[in-house]
Amino acid sequence: MKILVGYYGGEIGRVNLSLARDYAILKNAFVYILTSMSGGESEEADDVLKSEEGLKFASEFMKRSGVQYETILSVRGFSPGEDIVKYAEDKEINHIFLGIKKKSKTEKIILGSTVQYVLSKSPCPVTCANFNLKNITDEDLLKDRRILIVDDEADVLESVEEILEMCVVDTSTNFEEAKTKLENNSYDIAILDIMGVQGYEILQLTREKDIPTLMLTAHALTPEHLKKSIQKGADAYIPKEEMVNIDAHVADMIKARIKGEKGMGAWFKKLTSFFNGSFGKNWKNEDKTFWESFDNKYRK
């Protein structure tokens, strides 16, 4: 059996890949993952590079699942709908998977016409996947996310990995190992200890790759480290007492990034009473200007 996935990245692309992957495992099928560049060879280099990066992610996704696959970046100049149908005909595809999430007016026109064209012209059954952030559960949002956890305490790594069992988890116990993994792999989230693993240095590496990063700490639980984590670009700063809720905090970070925001507001609001209890009621007065600015920006 042969499956064709029309892939254009983003959250709906992830859902589409997941559905196709699960179906391929069930049917022992081969998966073709197609991204169509409708402008053909005249496409801008940045757009081609973005599409190549997207297909690289799709390739890693399928490879981890043990599914046989092939990625295709088509620059034949056809519309996405035409490309998908023609490829399905040429390869005698048995099932097509498409995403139908619509955002901007332009995307409504492009994605709408693509789905309509494929549904009317397809030589085989078509499954249309949808993504709605308001309706998705935290577990489904976290499913298949690739996460790097860096901590020098084995029990912490084991506990976080167990809580995030729906994710694909890599672990490291030191800076050098974490650096190597960041150089060789793509990650959706990084969870970093501060003390013992050079957490701030790793944070700098994750920031360079724009990987949403959560600082998980016990020994560095101070107002100074909280402020420093924020200033250095962490998306969240969570005490290890909150480790049992790490899945909810990571989900909040992902939701914030999907909305085009940083992950500051949700986690800080949830932990305000904890920080007040740990640092004292008036702990913000030591750096009043900074915290007033933070509150105005993230807690509207």
Kindly give the pairing relationship between strand 189-192 and strand 168-172: unpaired
pLDDT at 163: 96
pLDDT at 50: 86
Burial of 227 (0-12, 13-18, 19+ CB in 10 A): middle
Q: For a pLDDT cut of 70, what percent of the chain falls above it?
A: 92
SS3 breakdown of the chain: % helix, strand, coil, rounded to 5? 55, 15, 30
pLDDT over 60 at 40, yes or no:
no
Range of weakest confidence among 18-22, 113-117, 174-178: 113-117
pLDDT over 80 at 297, yes or no:
no
Question: What's the pLDDT tens digit per position in 175-223?
Answer: 999 999 999 998 999 999 998 899 999 999 999 999 999 999 988 889 9
Higher-pLDDT residue of 105, 230: 230
> How would you list the strands of the sheet with 95-99, edge to edge?
69-74, 30-36, 2-6, 95-99, 126-129
pLDDT at 293: 87
CA dist 129 and 151 (Å) reads 37
CATH classification code of 138-298: 3.40.50.2300
pLDDT at 261: 75
pLDDT at 202: 97
What value does the mean pLDDT take over residues 71-92? 93
What value does the mean pLDDT take over residues 9-27? 93
> How would you list the strands of the sheet with 146-150, edge to edge?
168-172, 146-150, 189-192, 213-217, 236-239
The token pair that represents 79 in the structure block: 């519309």
Q: Give the CATH fold of the 2-129 domain.
A: Rossmann fold (3.40.50)
Same fold, 2-129 and 138-298: yes
Question: What's the pLDDT tens digit per position in 241-268?
Answer: 999 999 999 999 999 888 887 656 678 8
Domain boundaries defined on the chain: 2-129, 138-298
pLDDT over 70 at 167, yes or no:
yes
pLDDT at 114: 84
The mean pLDDT value of the chain amounts to 89
pLDDT at 92: 97
The residue among 208, 189, 91 whose CA lies nearest residue 149 is: 189
What value does the mean pLDDT take over residues 7-13? 90
Sign of the Cα pseudo-torsion (232, 237, 239, 244, in order): negative
pLDDT over 50 at 110, yes or no:
no
- Hey, which bits of 134-261 come out as E strands? 146-150, 168-172, 189-192, 213-217, 236-239
pLDDT at 41: 56
If you search the block for the tokens 């693993």, which residue do you land on? Answer: 197
Query: pLDDT-derived band of residue 42, with 50, 70 and 90 as boundaries?
Result: low
Higher-pLDDT residue of 93, 79: 93
Query: pLDDT-derived band of residue 109, with 50, 70 and 90 as boundaries?
Result: very low
User: pTM of the predicted model, to two decimals?
Assistant: 0.84
